[in-house]
Amino acid sequence: MRKKICIVGCGHIGKIHAQLFKSQCNLSFYSRRIDSAKHYNARFGGVGVYSDFDAVINDPSIDGLVISSPPASHAQQIIAALKQQKWVLVDKPMCITPEELMHIKASLNSSSVKRLMIAKTITTN
């Protein structure tokens, strides 16, 4: 059974992740701009869109998140996803401050999932 992954952030980096995952997972999309999520959903053969981040992490059918949102959002989104036992792949930087790192570490230690990976997406023009 194919995993259901939500791409969080529908900008350039989100597009790269969607291209890589589209043949391996059932993709859904979340963006602060719902039109972007709808566009990526149609472009990459997705199975749905979300207009609210809480709806993503509270959806029991979502197995994991690929976080490619602005870095200022990463820590909050990682922590929320781990609390809901979701797998997380986050584009770098994972977080911005040492305090955020400590909060992420605490969330990871209390999660039964223990799957947090950091990606470095290389782009070319």
Q: Read off the pLDDT band of 100 (50, 70, 90).
A: very high
Q: First vs last Cα of the chain: how many Å apart?
A: 35
- Closest residue by Cα to residue 63 from 41, 47, 42: 47
**What's the DSSP call for residue 19?**
H
Taking residues 61-75, report their average pLDDT. 96
Q: Which residues pair with 4 in a beta bridge?
A: 26
Q: What is the pLDDT of residues 24-45, one digit of tens each?
A: 999 999 999 999 999 999 999 9
Q: pTM to 2 decimals?
A: 0.92
